[in-house]
Amino acid sequence: MEYTGQNKLELFADNAQIIKKEFAWQNTLTKRLAALLYAQEGKRIDCEAIRQCHALIKQNTGAFSAFRGNMALCVAALLSLSPDPQEVFSETLNVYGLLKDVKFRASDFLVVAAFQIATQSDAADYGNVVIRTRSFYEGMKARHFFYTGQDDYIFAAMLGLTDLDTAAGAERIEQLYNRLKGEFWGKNSVQALAQMLVLGDSEDSVADRILILRDELRAQKIKLDKAYTLPVLGILALLPVEIDRIVRDIDTAQDALREQKGFGPLSVTTQELLLYAASIVAGDYAESVKDGLLTATLSTSITNIIIAQQAAMIAAISASTAAASASSASS
């Protein structure tokens, strides 16, 4: 067994058990996401700090604010991990207003996008990053109108934070999308994958590496090429790690995580489990890269993509539950 991240997997599982008890009425997936955010930092979850940040959000937003939506606990966890939660939240509110000013629609995804920009750029650059974020989003929307939506806000913000030319970046996304769209189901997830690869400043050969990695994983019955995990497959393909090692480590990590309390098949689906296992493995790989700036960039990208994919999963489940409730009420 080569994978050495067992401690982080156990920390994640322990964190998940702790927050499960402390926030009994919160969304289960959001609680596990908060537990993962702390584990990725190598920290035991601090529920009191999260509770204080959750209260901070409530004290400064209205009852119907998107800040109080499905991702509120996740945002509270992110704030609690920051050096100055009050200041970071104030800046996030500021950026959120700027994003609304350029016609982004209120949503959980926009809240996370605002947090990204507030924490990864200087206040003097907010306006420029917001405009670039809007430009990247419009470039996606112009090419793929029907499946570019609010779930792309986080990726658009990630692109907006780079120094990529917006027109060239949008064209590069389209090139990669066209190269990969015939290989995977779900055009929206392929677009997210293409966005991830552009963020990683990848060469054309990365598409071949992704397909080889997909096939090697599938040979071990590991389906990391599904809707919510496809961008993570892209991250793994970008990292300078041998494919055989990636496959072995993902296999080991998912088996180890499945054995943890609260992660049995009745509690966590296979795709959700893979999302967690792959993100922890990818995070460990990123930390081993001998380049401080690259490590920071990779680690931030992994965190943002996990949040984006988990937010999409939560939104889909919430919409399905609401539709089921409406159908039941009308029958």
Cα gap 47→16, rounded to integer Å: 11
| DSSP for residue 263 | -
**Closest to 309 measured CA to CA, from 85, 136, 117, 151:** 151
Quote the pLDDT of residue 290.
Answer: 60
Quote the pLDDT of residue 125.
Answer: 98
Domain that holds residue 82: 6-318
Whether residue 175 lies inside any domain: the answer is yes
Torsion of CA 175, 177, 180, 186, to 10 degrees: -170
Quote the pLDDT of residue 2.
Answer: 45
Which stretches of the chain score pLDDT less than 70?
1-5, 290-297, 320-331
Whether residue 331 lies inside any domain: the answer is no
- Contact between 282 and 236 under an 8 Å Cβ cutoff? The reply is yes
For the record, the structure tokens of 172 come out as 């590069």
Quote the pLDDT of residue 287.
Answer: 81
Quote the pLDDT of residue 140.
Answer: 93
- Contact between 132 and 173 under an 8 Å Cβ cutoff? The reply is no
Pure H helices in the chain: 6-22, 28-40, 47-59, 72-80, 85-101, 108-120, 126-143, 153-160, 166-180, 187-199, 206-219, 230-238, 243-258, 270-288, 292-330
Domain count, the chain: 1
Whether residue 330 lies inside any domain: the answer is no
Whether residue 325 lies inside any domain: the answer is no
Concatenated DSSP letters for 181-200? TTTSS-HHHHHHHHHHHHHT
Q: What are the CB-based long-range contacts (under 8 Å, 24+) for 4-7?
A: 4/284, 5/249, 5/253, 5/280, 5/281, 5/284, 6/256
Whether residue 217 lies inside any domain: the answer is yes
Quote the pLDDT of residue 1.
Answer: 34
Whether residue 252 lies inside any domain: the answer is yes
Cα gap 196→173, rounded to integer Å: 9
- Contact between 275 and 310 under an 8 Å Cβ cutoff? The reply is yes
Cα gap 23→130, rounded to integer Å: 34
- Contact between 256 and 5 under an 8 Å Cβ cutoff? The reply is no
- How far the first Cα of the chain sits from its last, in Å, is 54
Whether residue 267 lies inside any domain: the answer is yes
Q: Which residue type is seen at 10?
A: E
Cα gap 232→253, rounded to integer Å: 15
The whole-model pTM stands at 0.91
Whether residue 181 lies inside any domain: the answer is yes
